Amino acid sequence: MNMTATIQLKGKDFLTLADYSKEEIEYLLHLALELKEKQQNGERYTPLSGKTLAMIFEKPSTRTRVSFEVGMVQLGGHALHLSSRDLQIGRGETIADTARVLSEYVDGIMIRTFEHEKVEELAQYAKIPVINGLTDDDHPCQALADLLTIYEVKGKLQGLKLAYIGDGNNMAHALMLAAAKVGMDCAIASPKGYEPKETIVKKAKHIAGENGATIVVTNDPYEAIANADVVYTDVWASMGQEAEANERIHIFAPFQVNEALVQQAKQDFMFLHCLPAHRGEEVTEDVIDGKQSYIFQQAGNRLHAQKALLVSLL
């Protein structure tokens, strides 16, 4: 990976990987590896001493909440968990006012919410960096950690092929953009009517073209997984879609990542899942708990990737 000394990300928002250059992403990955090593060596590193991150959650979370909070503590700072139920946002205070008020107190805001536009509005009015902790359209923190995990396991990113099998959701979008940025081929297989958003596919294809990679969207999981180095899936019903869960189980059944399907990937494929997972639905136990699964290293890397973000942005 190329490490350029001139990368400067202070004050920048992190709403989608589409807004970051290939060099900036590589810089963050490199920094994440450095911070991970420091952590594993028991080295104290507290550049965010005295700084506070506000974390707004309008949806539940295990990994995002814990990894951001622990990350801030390890870097010498502090994190505030703010559920929308407890904030005045829940009673109608505007996003714009919330952004301006929080800017008076804290050094950065992480938000997990529904509409992507809400995060954009928060960023527009906040004087401090805003980090997207998942929207209906994107999950860039997860995709950054995923790139880190793939790099650790495969030793490179460019030239690999990632196959995402399942719902054309926030993860599909984030992974397409991440792959496109680093020059990784990406194939998405979703049922008809559940493909990723056309606007995001178009954007990813454009970025991929600049980096010598391809983005393919198909309704055939076998086509997508052929020769894949990385096999990825996610839940069939995302947060906010719980009412559709039963209907989706039938529609998505042919897209289950199971032994028969992964046979078509490269022999040394690695399996990833952002978690939480539903074993027996989007993935079988033998695959997700098998030797080629890296899901816990992947979950762990949320901490290191996000620490790199926090150090760089705040």
Closest CA to 116 of 242, 240, 208, 247: 240
Question: Which residues participate in the annotated binding site for carbamoyl phosphate?
Answer: 61-64, 88, 112, 139-142, 274-275, 302
Exposed, middle or buried, 39 (CB in 10 Å: 0-12/13-18/19+)? middle
Exactly one of 65, 173, 273, 302 is catalytic; which is it? 302
Judged by CB under 6 A, the chain residues 28 through 87 that form the site for ligand CP are 61-64
26 binds, among ligand NVA, ligand CP, none (CB under 5 to 8 A by kind): none
Q: How far is the CB of 101 from ligand CP (least distance, A)?
A: 25
**Residue 22 or 116 having the CB closest to ligand CP:** 116
264: nearest Cα among 231, 227, 233: 227
101 binds ligand CP (CB under 6 A): no
CB 264 within 8 A of CB 187: no
112 tagged catalytic: yes
State the residues that interact with ligand NVA by CB under 6 A.
Answer: 134, 169-171, 234-235, 238-239, 274
Catalytic, 85? Answer no
Does the active-site annotation cover 139? Answer: yes
Binding residues for L-ornithine: 170, 234, 238-239
Rounded to 5 degrees, φ, ψ at 309 are -65, -45
Q: Which does 235 bind (CB under 5 to 8 A by kind): ligand CP, ligand NVA, none?
A: ligand NVA
Q: Which does 177 bind (CB under 5 to 8 A by kind): ligand NVA, ligand CP, none?
A: none
**Residue 234 amino acid letter:** D
User: From ligand NVA, ligand CP, none, which one binds at residue 111 (CB under 5 to 8 Å depending on kind)?
Assistant: none
Burial zone of 281 (CB within 10 Å; 0-12 exposed, 13-18 middle, 19+ buried) = buried
Evaluate whether 1 touches 151 at the Cβ level (below 8 Å): yes
Confirm or reject binding of residue 149 to ligand CP (CB under 6 A).
Answer: no
Smallest gap, in angstroms, from Cβ of residue 236 to ligand CP?
15
Residue nearest to ligand NVA (CB): 238
By C-beta, is 238 or 312 nearer to ligand NVA? 238
* Site of interaction with ligand CP (CB under 6 A): 61-64, 134, 142, 274-275
Which residues participate in catalysis according to the annotation?
A: 112, 139, 142, 234, 274, 302
